[in-house]
Amino acid sequence: MTTQKTLTLFFFLLLSFNTFTSSVTIEAEPAFGNPIDRNLLGQDKEPTLSHFRFYWQDIVGGPNATSIPIVQPIPKFNTSSSFGLVRVIDNALTIGPNLTSKVIGRAQGFYVLVSETELDLLMVESFVFYEGRYNGSTIDIVGRNVALNKVREIPVVGGSGVFRFAKGYAELRTLKFDAASGDTLVQYDVFVYHH
């Protein structure tokens, strides 16, 4: 075969292949994420900044405990820091500091003692509200709690219901700690933007 015939055959095959491939329809995969109109999710107005004050009642002992250990401290570190201790909570959130005050919701989640040397906790909580327009809505927080500091801050990372797309922070102040029982009373001041 001559060079000219070989080149002609090559270009013929190349054109045939291009014609074949251009007629094949390949469907694109659906997009993983797409922009949407914020009005569809009720995001058409400016967010509201709200302040909530309530009291977190952590009852760790007795028949009415609301904070249950699910992982005990690591024996090597079973000292004042209780490193490795994990507790699941369903703590009452009350309108006043007394345990008998009106319950406005529950703090549900867990906390982990995360320092080998200090009383530092990782808090993961959903505040589930029972009152008025907030009934059924939640504010979610996740963050470090250095328990011996007078005031601590934990970020608000989200929410549901009235608090959909929430952001902000919570300030914590320990008002009472019972060394014998381990029960703790903490004042929460939550500052949250929501729509």
Domains annotated on the chain, with CATH: 46-194 (2.40.480.10)
**Beta carbons of 67 and 59 less than 8 angstroms apart:** yes
Provide the pLDDT confidence category of residue 77 given band limits of 50, 70 and 90: low
Per-residue pLDDT, 128:
98
Mean pLDDT confidence for 101-129 = 96
Per-residue pLDDT, 41:
74
User: Which residues have CB under 8 Å from 161's CB, separation 6+?
Assistant: 134, 136, 137, 138
> What's the rounded Cα separation, in Å, for the pair 114 and 142?
14
**Beta carbons of 166 and 194 less than 8 angstroms apart:** yes
pLDDT at residue 39 tops 80: no
**Beta carbons of 57 and 67 less than 8 angstroms apart:** no
Question: Which amino acid appears at position 159 of this protein?
Answer: G
Per-residue pLDDT, 186:
98
Provide the pLDDT confidence category of residue 44 given band limits of 50, 70 and 90: confident
- DSSP per-residue string spanning 22-52: HH---PPPPPS-----GGGGT-SSPPEEEEE
For residue 105, which of 141, 57, 154, 60 has the smallest C-alpha distance? 57
> What's the rounded Cα separation, in Å, for the pair 145 and 112?
10
pLDDT, tens digit (0-9, with 9 covering 90-100), for 161-190: 999 999 999 999 999 999 899 999 999 999
Let me know the angle formed at the C-alpha of 100 by 95 and 105, rounded to the nearest 5 degrees.
45
Two structure tokens written together for 63: 């028949």
User: Which residues have CB under 8 Å from 180's CB, separation 6+?
Assistant: none
pLDDT at residue 26 tops 90: no
Whole-prediction pTM: 0.80
Terminal Cα-to-Cα distance of the chain (whole angstroms)? 78
Pick the range with the lowest mean pLDDT from 25-34, 48-57, 109-118, 141-150.
25-34
Provide the pLDDT confidence category of residue 24 given band limits of 50, 70 and 90: low
Residue 27 or residue 175, greater confidence: 175
Q: Which residue has the tokens 């001559």?
A: 2
Pick the range with the lowest mean pLDDT from 40-49, 94-103, 121-130.
40-49
